[in-house]
Chain A
Amino acid sequence: MKKTVKIDVKDLTVGYGSYVLLHDAEYQVNQGDVFIIMGGSGCGKSSMLRVLTGLIPPLRGEVIIDGVDIARASTEEVQRIREKSGILYQSGALFSSMTLAENIMLPLQQYSDYSPATIRELASLKLALVGLTGFDDFYPSEISGGMKKRAGLARALALDPDIVYFDEPSAGLDPISSRNLDDLILEINQSLGTTIVVVTHELASIFAIANNSIFLDAETKTILARGDPKELLKNPPNEAVYKFLTRGEKK
């Protein structure tokens, strides 16, 4: 069965001002994929994510999400795409002046016409989905780093998004919390059919969750490889990819 293309990146150049981080990037993310953007430090993974989420404009090229080029779309179209996307930031990015429930209620209050009681129930449900039952009235400063990430994920899932982006989800987590978060990502992908885009360099996570990926290279500033990471490990297209996927072993 032919999969629907969710994100289509064409001839993309990413950078800041005159400084180019990545050029001529072309790839597609299909509906329901767990897609990994991987590469060494400084290769432009997080900047790529910022372009995909419309936080910075591309220097050149197109990012087409659901048929709309977000760099050239109208404010209303970008808004519509954002309502269907959720993002889990590296630090969780919870609003520190609000409780966990209020953090999750915020996008619901903004974009839905549910009654306040229903919004409260939905917030509790989202927290329960990420294993934070009963933490509704806690402030971000009162919970651990792993819990912040899960609460951030609950907020990202608030509007039942089609795509969820993750920026370094394993960063700062112990191995067990990291594994639990990977399981949660797979659970969301499989039970809700959500397309997942993850920026990471954690090999354990990459092999545990991904079914598609691109490998960014800081040296050549291009995409060096694409495909299922397990396949890339079996048939590495070049030394850099092999070294990355084997933690520096020589071919």
Chain B
Amino acid sequence: MRKKTENEPLLTLDKDHLLSVVFEGDITHFNSEDFLRRFRETAPAARLIELTDNGIQEWDSSLVAVLYEIIRYAQENKIKCSYKSLPKNLRDLIRLAFADDRKPTHGGTDYSFLESIGKATIDLCKTVNSVLSFLGQTLASVGRFFSGRSVMRGVDFCSALEDCGPKAIAIVALISFLVGLILAFVGAIQLQTFGAQIYVASLVTIGMCRIMGAIMVGIIMAGRTGSSYAATIGTMQVNEELDALQTMGMSRVDFLVLPRIFALILAMPILTMLADIMGMIGGAAVGVFMLDLPYEEYLDYSLRAFTLKNFLVGIFHGFCFGIIIALCGCYSGLTCGRNADSVGVATTHSVVNAIVWMIVVTGIITVVCLELGI
């Protein structure tokens, strides 16, 4: 660590309102907080501030920062300030610090409370407009695809499908197996007290098939694939690739969004089926090996609990989640800013938005199913 030498400058205010600040000796690594506080308490009474060199030896930027603060204070408060006796190199640095060749023309703006509300409302309207516009463009793009006028490339669809399909199988299988295991454990603790542990099979089967399988796949895919969509498209924004697409007259939605949506729509129901099966296997592992339930009996109860209705509700959830994850990921990427930080923000937004909308849609589907008696 560098050596710390502090010779506190001498601060005196005479009866002619001359504030004299005398610097001497070594002034390096100078913590100026106390000194500047005392200076600001004293300075309002001064008509002239004089900065004097009384043998400054070694110094660093901490001294220049103090001088800069004093001179800026004097300028802002229209107090004359003289620093002619300071060494030339210090004076040169001060001149450099004050030599702005262009005034900032676009600084931060402080809004009043009412203005902030107004601004937030306008921003909200812009966001709603942007989301609706994106959804409209996506629908138009789907229309173009089915009428054979889309510029979606088959290779992009295959690449997206490979990424969200086969490459996601291992993680989906592992997590679903563990969720089935946990579900069975939690259920077993309660059901054992009634001697009804065999119903663990029904609990796991219904739970996984109807909702848990789809939710787990949704969360995994939002974190794994949705975020990857946002990051990929966001990076394309930073690298001006989206501008290039636009100026080539190619639809960004056709080219980037459509293959990803189609890939997830296809992959998600299949992954949901896999999650259902793996969850049931996880439950069976607990039932057969830990609760010592007979394998045949466990299978029998599982099959009795398994209904096509529950299974299709789960698959429908997966289908909806696929659309939500792809839309949230692509929208966050397309609206990403033009720096590296924005890509991180876009990625976070895509995951959070996808999970929130998945929960909202789950609620809606549940209510509709309840009303329809499904």
Contacts and interface: CB of A to CB of B under 8 A. Distances in A.
Interface of A: 19, 50, 53-55, 78-79, 82-83, 85, 87, 89-91, 93-97, 106-107, 110-111, 155, 218-219
Contacts of B244: 87, 89, 93, 95, 155
Contact of A110 (B151, B239, B241): B151
Interface in B129-143: none
Contact of B241 (A54, A55, A94, A218): A94
A87 B241 CA distance: 11
A111 B250 CA distance: 10
Given A19-B106, A219-B102, A87 B247 contact: yes
A57 to B, nearest CB: 13
A82 B247 contact: yes
Given A90-B240, A93-B240, A218 B105 contact: yes
15 contacts: A19-B106, A55-B246, A79-B249, A83-B249, A87-B243, A87-B244, A90-B240, A93-B239, A93-B240, A93-B243, A97-B159, A107-B248, A110-B151, A110-B248, A111-B249
Contacts of A91: 239-240
Nearest to B242: A93
A218 B106 CA distance: 11
A155 B244 CA distance: 10
A16 B241 CA distance: 21
Interface in B165-216: none
B247 A85 contact: yes
A54 B255 CA distance: 19
A79 B244 CA distance: 14
Nearest to B105: A218
A55 B245 CA distance: 11
B241 A93 contact: yes
Contacts of A94: 241
Contact of B247 (A55, A110, A218, A219): A55
Interface in B156-170: 156, 159
Interface of B: 102, 105-106, 151, 156, 159, 236, 239-241, 243-244, 246-250
Closest 4 CB pairs of A and B: A93-B240, A93-B244, A82-B249, A89-B240
Nearest to B106: A19
Contacts of B249: 78-79, 82-83, 110-111
A96 B106 CA distance: 35
Nearest to A80: B249
Given A91-B240, A97-B159, A218 B248 contact: no
Contacts of B240: 89-91, 93
Given A110-B249, A219-B102, 11 more contacts: A19-B106, A83-B249, A85-B247, A87-B243, A87-B247, A91-B239, A93-B240, A93-B241, A96-B236, A110-B248, A155-B244
B239 A96 contact: yes
Contacts of A218: 102, 105
Contact of B243 (A78, A89, A107, A155): A89
A142 to B, nearest CB: 16
A106 B243 contact: no
Q: B159, B240, B241, B248: which has the most chain A beta carbons within 10 Å?
A: B248
A79 B250 CA distance: 9
A218 B244 CA distance: 27
Q: B151, B156, B239, B250: which has the most chain A beta carbons within 10 Å?
A: B239
Contacts of B248: 82, 106-107, 110
A110 B244 CA distance: 14
Contacts of A53: 247
Nearest to B249: A82
Contact of A95 (B151, B241, B246, B247): B241
A246 to B, nearest CB: 15
B349 to A, nearest CB: 22
A99 B105 CA distance: 43
B231 to A, nearest CB: 12
Contacts of B247: 53-55, 82, 85, 87
